C-alpha cells in the first residue's frame, strides 16, 4: 500500500467533503501518522472511512468525525484541553499539536497503556494519559479551555460543563442511535452556556456515562 497516497485520499475524499476546510486541521492530518496509533492487527485500516476495533469493546472514531470535532473545537495554542476517552491516543495527539497541554482520561487499563505508548512513540510531550473513569472529568485540575468527548453520550453531565472556563468549549456527540448530534457547548459567563447543534452523526458509546431513566406508563 502506498501510505502517503492513502493518507492523501483519506483527507481529500473523506474529510474535506465533510466540511472540514480548516487548513490547519487538514495539514495536521497529513503530518500526524494515523497508522502509528492503530492496533497492530488493524494498521491496514488506518485510512478507511470506518470505526476501527481497539479491543475491550471499544472503537476508534472514523477519520472524518475526528477531523470535524477537532475543527469545531477551535483549539488555540495557549489552551488546556481535557479529553474523555483516550482510545488509541490519536485524538490526544491531534489536540496536543494545537493546544498548550492535553490530559486524556481512559478507564480501560489496556487502552490507557496503549494510548500513552503511542503518544511517546510519536514524540508528543504535551499530552498525558490517566487511567480513570472520565465521566466526572477532573475537577481538581480544571477549569479547562476545551473538553473533548471522544465518543457519544446520552447526555452531557453537568459536572463536565462546570469544568469549562469562560470562553471554553465542550464538544460531544449526544443522543441515541439511529439519531445523534454533535453539539458544542460554549461557556459565555458563570451563568450562561451557549448550546449549538453542529451536525448529525453516530458515534460509539463512551462507557461510564449513565443512561437516563426511562419510565413506562
Specify the CATH class of 3-201 in words.
Answer: alpha beta
∠ Cα 198 83 112 (to 5°): 135
Burial annotation 161-171 (CB, 10 A radius, 16+ → b, else e): bebbeeebbbb
pTM of the model: 0.94
State pLDDT tens for residues 13-44: 999 999 999 999 999 999 999 999 999 999 99
User: Residue 179 burial by CB count (10 A; 0-12/13-18/19+): exposed, middle or buried?
Assistant: exposed
Q: Percent of the chain, pLDDT > 90?
A: 91
Residues with Cβ within 8 Å of 10's Cβ and at least 6 positions away in sequence, in order, are 29, 34, 47, 49, 63
Over residues 58-79, mean pLDDT: 97
C-alpha 75/C-alpha 179 separation (Å) is 27
Write the pLDDT tens digit of every residue in 156-199: 999 999 999 999 999 999 999 988 999 999 999 999 999 999 99
Check residue 51 and give its pLDDT: 95
Q: Which three cell numbers stand for residue 166?
A: 469562560
3-state secondary structure of 63: helix
Amino acid at each position: 500500500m502506498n501510505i502517503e497516497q492513502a493518507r492523501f485520499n483519506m483527507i481529500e475524499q473523506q474529510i474535506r467533503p465533510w466540511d472540514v476546510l480548516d487548513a490547519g486541521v487538514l495539514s495536521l492530518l497529513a503530518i500526524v501518522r494515523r497508522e502509528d496509533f492503530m492496533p497492530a492487527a488493524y494498521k491496514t485500516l488506518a485510512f478507511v472511512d470506518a470505526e476501527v476495533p481497539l479491543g475491550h469493546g471499544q472503537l476508534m472514531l472514523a477519520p472524518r468525525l475526528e477531523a470535524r470535532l477537532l475543527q469545531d473545537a477551535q483549539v488555540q495554542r495557549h489552551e488546556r484541553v481535557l479529553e474523555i476517552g483516550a482510545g488509541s491516543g490519536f485524538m490526544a495527539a491531534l489536540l496536543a499539536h494545537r493546544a498548550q497541554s492535553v490530559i486524556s482520561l481512559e478507564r480501560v487499563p489496556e487502552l490507557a497503556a496503549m494510548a500513552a505508548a503511542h503518544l511517546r512513540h510519536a514524540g508528543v510531550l504535551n499530552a498525558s494519559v490517566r487511567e480513570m473513569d472520565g465521566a466526572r472529568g477532573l475537577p481538581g485540575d480544571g477549569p479547562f479551555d476545551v473538553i473533548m468527548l471522544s465518543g457519544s453520550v446520552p447526555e452531557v453531565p453537568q459536572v463536565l460543563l462546570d469544568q469549562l472556563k469562560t470562553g471554553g468549549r465542550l464538544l460531544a456527540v449526544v443522543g441515541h442511535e439511529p439519531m445523534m448530534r454533535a453539539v458544542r457547548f460554549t461557556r459565555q459567563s458563570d451563568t450562561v452556556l451557549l448550546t449549538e447543534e453542529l451536525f448529525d452523526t453516530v458515534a460509539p458509546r463512551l462507557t461510564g456515562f449513565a443512561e437516563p431513566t426511562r419510565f413506562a406508563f
